[in-house]
Amino acid sequence: MNIFDFIITSEEPPVLLYPGNEVFVVTKGDIERFYVEERKSWICGSDNENRGYSISNGRTYNVVTNMDIGSCAFLEHDRAKMKAEEYINSHDVILADDIRIVKTVAYGYRRKVDDRDMVSFYCTLDNGELYMKEFMTFCHIVKNTKKAIEKFMSQQEFEFEDPVRINCIVNPKNMYKCKGTNDWLYTEAGCAYGIG
| CA distances for 155 relative to 107, 122, 133, 175, angstroms | 11, 13, 11, 23
* 8 A C-beta contact, residue 8 and residue 27: no
**What does residue 153 show for φ and ψ, rounded to 5 degrees?**
-75, -10
Say yes or no to pLDDT of 176 above 70.
Answer: yes
Question: How far is Cα 62 from Cα 43, in angstroms, rounded to an integer?
Answer: 16
Q: How confident is the model at residue 180 (pLDDT cuts 50, 70, 90)?
A: confident
Question: How far is Cα 100 from Cα 176, in angstroms, rounded to an integer?
Answer: 16
SS3 147: helix
Residue 11 has a pLDDT of: 83
What percent of the chain shows pLDDT beyond 90? 86
Say yes or no to pLDDT of 141 above 60.
Answer: yes
Say yes or no to pLDDT of 1 above 70.
Answer: no
Q: How confident is the model at residue 182 (pLDDT cuts 50, 70, 90)?
A: confident
Residue 177 has a pLDDT of: 96
Mean of the per-residue pLDDT values of the chain:
93
Q: Structure pTM? A: 0.86
What long-range pairs does 134-139 form, CB within 8 A, spacing at least 24? 135/163, 138/187, 138/188, 138/190, 138/191, 138/194, 139/172, 139/173, 139/175, 139/187, 139/188
Say yes or no to pLDDT of 156 above 90.
Answer: yes
DSSP state of 131: E
